[in-house]
Amino acid sequence: MPKYLDEPTDDAMDRIYNMNWHRETSKDGVVILDLQKHDAINVTVSGTVEIDGLVHGFIIDDGDRGGTEIRAFGDPDVVGVAEEPERPEPATFVPVKNNLYLYPKFAVYLHWRQESEFNDKIRGLAYDSYFAPGLVTDNHYQDYAARRSMKIGYLSNFPPEIVGIIQDSDAKRITVATAMERIFAIYPQEETARLDQIAKEMARVFSGED
């Protein structure tokens, strides 16, 4: 029975690294079976590498997030190929105040989402996060959002019923006024005022004012 190594030799890693760097698919005993690009820098590579006449399987993560990490190595029938990750939810700008949808001011946010500037920035965020990921990109868009009382987040930050209303508003299937009417039908203003009072009371208690 073949004796598979638990980790690649330095020579094997060099050959795999060179294949990945040059984006080749078969060379020097290395065969790339699958390449998942998470962004322009970070990838997951699956393939086989021959070591002393024995073909080993590998799954390796590489990039600036965590450096080079050997996720699996050994018998190629056991190692297989990395599973495709779930498609990540696209980032957007959301209010700093998580429950802003309970208040009339949420209409401003809905209007802003329909502006070309908002959509240009969202496309820029997606593009730069893929081709130029890192702290500089994150800070640029975080600063932009903060100047508008926003932050980088996801539609899933909102309750599902609010997400549906936002999407209808974005697509202009309903007006902003209609969107707010639907929201306040779900969350009546009296309840909003009560929740706001509870939040203020909790903030006062936890601040140690009493």
3 in any annotated domain = no
116 with 184, same domain: the answer is: yes
Judgement on whether residues 73 and 140 belong to the same structural domain of the protein: no
Can you give the residue range of the structural domain that contains 185?
92-206
| pLDDT on residue 92 | 96
At 134-182, the pLDDT tens digits run 889 999 999 999 999 999 999 999 999 999 999 999 999 999 999 999 9
- Per-residue confidence at 25, pLDDT binned at 50, 70, 90? confident
- Buried b / exposed e across 5-39, counting CB within 10 Å, b at 16+? eeebeeebbebbeebbeeeeeeeebbbbbeebeeb
Domain tally, the chain: 2
Band the pLDDT of 56: cuts 50, 70, 90. Answer: very high
Q: How confident is the model at residue 114 (pLDDT cuts 50, 70, 90)?
A: very high
When the pLDDT of each residue in the chain is averaged and rounded to a whole number, the result is 88
The structure tokens 């959002």 sit at: 145
Of 40, 57, 79, the residue at which a domain comes to its end is 79
- Establish if 121 belongs to a structural domain: yes
191 has a pLDDT exceeding 80: no
The answer on 189 and 106 residing in a single domain is yes
Note the pTM of the prediction, 2 decimals. Answer: 0.65
In a domain, 1, yes or no: no
Q: Quick one: 111 and 147 in the same domain?
A: yes
Report, as an integer, the average pLDDT of 45-57: 95
What sign results for the dihedral spanned by CA atoms 89, 94, 96, 102? negative
Give the residue from 79, 109, 136 where a domain finishes: 79
